[in-house]
Amino acid sequence: MAVMKKKGDKTTPAISTASLPDVIFMILFFFMVSTTMREQDILVKFTLPEATEVQKLEKKSLASYIFIGQPIPSLQAKFGTAPRIQLNDSYKSTQDILEFVASERDKLSENDRLQMTVAIKADFMTRMGIITDVKQELRRANALKVSYTAQKTLGY
């Protein structure tokens, strides 16, 4: 005779959560490896222009960033809506670029100084006047490698 199953008090077994920490740790490690620390607060809002022929920045440690765009909405009451240049954590004028480049260059080792790249992150609506001024200052500061940051698209 087959063993009769008891009816009525059948409960679903609890799902084992013993491996949950392992799973979460795996996700954690994935994020630790694939992301970088947020380095600065961005005080300007910008939408990057789009391009197809973009190259990746070879080394992030060699890059310094110049942000150009309108102040973020919460600061517009104070600073207006004219495009601003952000270096490090504050709005600066073009005259400060020389000093900025010099300090960024000092952070790098002797061998890397020639490889320093300045990434210009500017809003696509910006007029070229301000960007030309920035470029002229960069030339004066002898930071000749620039990268016009753009979003990669597949083209048209």
Partner 1 sequence: MANKKVQEINAGSMADISFLLLIFFLVATTMNTDSGIQRVLPPMPDETQPQQAMDVKKRNILLVFVSKFDDIMVGGERMDITQLKDKVKEFVLNQTDDPNLPEKEMTKIDLIGNFPVSKGVVSLQNDRGTSYNRYIMVQNELTRAFNEIRDMVASQYFGGKKFLDLEEDQRKAVQKAVPLKISEAEPRNIEGGK
Distance from C-alpha of 151 to C-alpha of 49, rounded to nearest angstrom? 6
Stretch that binds partner 1, among 2-10, 85-93, 104-112, 126-134 (CB under 8 A): 126-134
Applying CB under 8 A, among 55, 74, 81, 111 the residue interacting with partner 1 is: 55
Q: Is the four-CA dihedral 102, 104, 107, 110 of positive or negative sign?
A: negative
With a CB cutoff of 8 Å and minimum separation 6, the contacts of 30 are: none
Stretch that binds partner 1, among 12-20, 74-82, 84-92, 105-113 (CB under 8 A): 12-20
The structure tokens listed for 23 are 């799973």
The structure tokens listed for 127 are 């007029």
Write out the residues near partner 1 by the rule CB under 8 A: 17-18, 20-21, 24-25, 27-28, 31-32, 34-38, 49-57, 60, 63, 117, 119-120, 122-129, 131-132, 135-136, 138-140, 142, 144-150, 152
